A and B are shown apart, each in its own frame.
Chain A
Amino acid sequence: MRIFPVKGGVHLEYRKELTSEKPIVALPMPKILLVPVQQHMGAPAITMVQPGETVAKGQVLARGQGLVSAPVHAPTSGKVVDIERITAPHPSGLPQITIILEPDGADRWVELPAPINDPFAATPAEIRERVAVSGIVGLGGASFPSAVKLGLGSRGKLDILLVNGAECEPYLTCDDRVMREHSEEVVDGARIMAHALGTANIIIAIEGNKPVAQAAMQRAASQFTNVAVVTVPVQYPMGAERHLTLAVTGRETPARKLTADVGVVVHNVATARAVHHAVRFGRPLLSRVVTVSGGAIAEAKNIDVPLGTKVADLLEFCGGLKRPPHRIISGGPMMGQPLPSLEVPVVKGTSGILALLSEETNEAPSQPCIRCGSCVNVCPCGLVPVEMASFVRNEKLDDAARIGLMDCVSCGGCSYICPSHIPLVHYFNYAKGRLNALDRDRRKRELVKTMVEARGVRLEKQAQARRDAAAAAAAKNDANRANP
Chain B
Amino acid sequence: MLLAIGSLTAMGAALGTVLGVAARYLAVESDPLEQEILSLLPGSNCAQCGFVGCAGAAAALAAGEATVTLCPPGGKGVAEKLAKKLGVQADLSHSEDKGPMVAFINEDSCIGCLRCIKDCSTDAIVGANKQMHTVVSEVCHGCGKCFKVCPTEAIEMRPIPVTIETWHWQKPGAHAAH
Interface residues of chain A, those whose CB is within 8 Å of chain B, are: 38, 88, 90-92, 94, 96, 366-369, 389-390, 392-393, 420, 422-423, 426-427, 429-430, 432-434, 436-438, 440-441, 444-445, 447-449, 451-452, 454-455, 458
Contact = CB atoms under 8 A, between A and B. Distances in A.
A286 B177 CA distance: 50
Contacts of A454: 123
B176 A430 contact: no
B178 A448 contact: no
A390 B121 contact: no
Interface string B6-45: 0000000000000000000000000000000000001111
Contact of B168 (A423, A437, A444, A452): A437
Interface size class of B (residues with CB under 8 A): 20 to 34
A9 B79 CA distance: 40
B94 interface: no
B176 A447 contact: no
Contact of A90 (B43, B164, B172): B164
Nearest to A432: B168
B163 A423 contact: no
Which 5 interchain pairs have the tightest Cβ spacing? A433-B168, A451-B122, A369-B178, A92-B167, A449-B43
A91 B169 CA distance: 9
Given A94-B162, A451-B122, A422 B43 contact: no
Interface string B121-135: 111100000000000
A448 B168 contact: no
A274 to B, nearest CB: 24
Interface in B143-178: 162-164, 166-172, 175-178
Nearest to A454: B123
Contacts, number: 83
A368 B176 CA distance: 6
B166 A437 contact: yes
A447 B139 contact: yes
Interface of B: 42-45, 77, 100, 121-124, 138-139, 141, 162-164, 166-172, 175-178
A392 B163 CA distance: 24
Interface secondary structure of A, over-half rule = helix
Interface secondary structure of B, over-half rule = loop
B133 to A, nearest CB: 16
20 contacts: A90-B167, A91-B169, A92-B162, A92-B167, A368-B177, A369-B178, A389-B178, A392-B171, A426-B169, A429-B169, A430-B172, A433-B167, A436-B168, A437-B166, A437-B168, A444-B141, A445-B141, A449-B43, A452-B45, A455-B123
A434 B76 CA distance: 13
A427 B45 CA distance: 37
Interface centre among B122, B167, B172, B176 (most CB of A within 10 A): B172
Nearest to A431: B171
B50 to A, nearest CB: 19
A369 to B, nearest CB: 4
Nearest to B75: A441
A445 B169 CA distance: 24
B164 A455 contact: no
A452 B171 contact: no
A441 B77 contact: yes
B172 A427 contact: yes
A262 B116 CA distance: 54
Nearest to A433: B168
Given A390-B178, A427-B171, A88 B122 contact: no
Contacts of A429: 168-169
Given A366-B176, A368-B177, A422-B178, A452 B169 contact: no
A422 B122 contact: no
